[in-house]
Amino acid sequence: MRLAVLRERREFEARVAASPETVKKLAALGMTIAVEAGAGTRSGWSDADFAAAGAEIAADAAAALAGAGIVFAVQMPDAAERAAIARGALLVSISNAFADPALVPALAEAGIDAAALEMLPRITRAQSMDVLSSQANLAGYRAVIESAAAFDRGFPMMMTAAGTVPPARVFVIGAGVAGLQAIATARRLGAIVSATDVRPAAKEEIKSLGASFVGVEDEETKAAQTAGGYAKEMSEAFRQKQAALMAETVAKNDIVICTALVMGRKAPVIVTAPMVAAMRAGSVIIDLAADAGGNCAATRPGEAYVTENGVKILGHRNWPARIPVAASSLYARNLLTFLSTFWDKEAKAPKLPETDEIVKGVMLTRGGAVVHPQFLPAQAA
């Protein structure tokens, strides 16, 4: 069985779906691995590193994909790349399928069996394959480091002979995987940290990291979590209550780190333009939700800029790709774990039982048909 690792072509993407370490382990399962030339360059791995691990280096995507029964990628390959994927091949990537209604039918039409790893159920058995967690954790860390670099003062309280510098006040919006890592990182740097979330379980998690909880607690927040562990989209009435509290809180803080997401939807706008206007000059907003539209109304996705009142807003897309070596290492291990979990040692081929909870969660298409319940055509669903 041949496995192809593609070079990522999207703007803002610096990661790669395999590392020299995972190439060795994949080869040990009985695969031959073809890595597209230059695939690892932005994650610190040369073609020679992959070759030394046992991979064949393919000149381009078509050469890597020729005869491949398995394809590893970070982002969903574009239409031109997909055209070179063999019918029946298993494609493992982050699909971002909700963003493009034409994608899943096109994958079925092309006969590609697509596994969307961002759709993994949040269960213990899936934790070591969980790409959202591994990448969000690093994004949360990176957000704080970039906010510290952009902030003109400093994070810890410093008592020096020349006087005292007050600590930075950091407010984290959304306390999922990224937000909790942001809280921990900001605390380690010495900031005074507070955070908010709509899920009831988040309050204790925030407090256990030494941050204070700021948030609306009402009947709606008691049921704000789906069975899968994600936040629900909140009502207009809730949003109004939240806005009053946020206006007060955002104005008091130096740095606001936004991480609030709702699976498959546009990110909720929590920091409005008037809230930004009320912040002190030199304050920093980091918007990790920029790819999903942003939690801050003034975010310009893909840009970093300074507002008229002197607030720096960093709305970069794809925060995990800003820490590519660590992000690629963990992403590559997530994919290795996924494939080795569903690997038939005798047949030396993937075996994805239709009844398995993880398989049901991630498979978008199979054998030329759409199989994922969230993407089935209307009458079939």
The residues that touch ligand NAD, with contacts defined as CB under 6 A, are: 122-123, 126-127, 130, 132-133, 136, 173-179, 196-199, 202, 229-231, 234, 259-263, 268, 270
Q: Count the residues in the chain.
A: 381
Minimum distance from residue 377 beta carbon to ligand NAD (Å): 27
Please tell me which residue in 9, 10, 42, 122 is annotated as part of the active site: 122
The residues facing 304 across adjacent strands are: 314
The residues facing 306 across adjacent strands are: 312
Instruction: Sort strands 32-36 and 56-58 into parallel, antiparallel or unpaired.
Output: parallel
- Phi/psi at 163 (nearest 5 deg)? 130, 180
Of the two residues 147 and 196, which places its CB atom closer to ligand NAD in the complex?
196
Of the two residues 1 and 216, which places its CB atom closer to ligand NAD in the complex?
216
Minimum distance from residue 191 beta carbon to ligand NAD (Å): 20
For residues 148 and 235, what is the distance between their CA atoms, to the nearest angstrom? 34
Of the two residues 227 and 380, which places its CB atom closer to ligand NAD in the complex?
227
Q: Decide: residue 235, CB within 10 A, 0-12 exposed, 13-18 middle, 19+ buried.
A: exposed
For residues 194 and 311, what is the distance between their CA atoms, to the nearest angstrom? 19
Nearest CA-CA partner of 13 in 84, 82, 83, 94: 94
Is 194 catalytic? The answer is: no
Radius of gyration of the CA atoms of the chain, in A: 22
Minimum distance from residue 301 beta carbon to ligand NAD (Å): 17
**DSSP symbol at 380:** T
Please tell me which residue in 127, 208, 212, 235 is annotated as part of the active site: 127
Please tell me which residue in 9, 10, 225, 230 is annotated as part of the active site: 230
Minimum distance from residue 366 beta carbon to ligand NAD (Å): 24
Is 130 catalytic? The answer is: yes
Minimum distance from residue 304 beta carbon to ligand NAD (Å): 22
Nearest CA-CA partner of 221 in 209, 246, 203, 205: 203
Nearest CA-CA partner of 256 in 306, 194, 202, 163: 194
Residue nearest to ligand NAD (CB): 176
Is 10 catalytic? The answer is: no
Of the two residues 6 and 214, which places its CB atom closer to ligand NAD in the complex?
214
Q: What separation in angstroms does the CA of 278 have from each of 142, 313, 334?
A: 26, 14, 42
Minimum distance from residue 326 beta carbon to ligand NAD (Å): 17
Please tell me which residue in 43, 93, 95, 133 is annotated as part of the active site: 133
Is 122 catalytic? The answer is: yes
The residues facing 163 across adjacent strands are: 160
**DSSP symbol at 363:** B
Of the two residues 64 and 202, which places its CB atom closer to ligand NAD in the complex?
202
Of the two residues 50 and 342, which places its CB atom closer to ligand NAD in the complex?
342
Of the two residues 29 and 263, which places its CB atom closer to ligand NAD in the complex?
263
Minimum distance from residue 202 beta carbon to ligand NAD (Å): 6
Q: What separation in angstroms does the CA of 288 have from each of 58, 144, 336, 362?
A: 34, 11, 27, 24
Checking 24-29 for CB contacts under 8 A at 24+ apart, the result is 24/53, 24/54, 25/336, 25/340, 26/336, 26/339, 27/53, 27/54, 27/55, 29/339, 29/340, 29/343, 29/345, 29/348
Minimum distance from residue 99 beta carbon to ligand NAD (Å): 15
Of the two residues 129 and 339, which places its CB atom closer to ligand NAD in the complex?
129
Is 230 catalytic? The answer is: yes
Annotated catalytic residues are 122, 127, 130, 133, 230
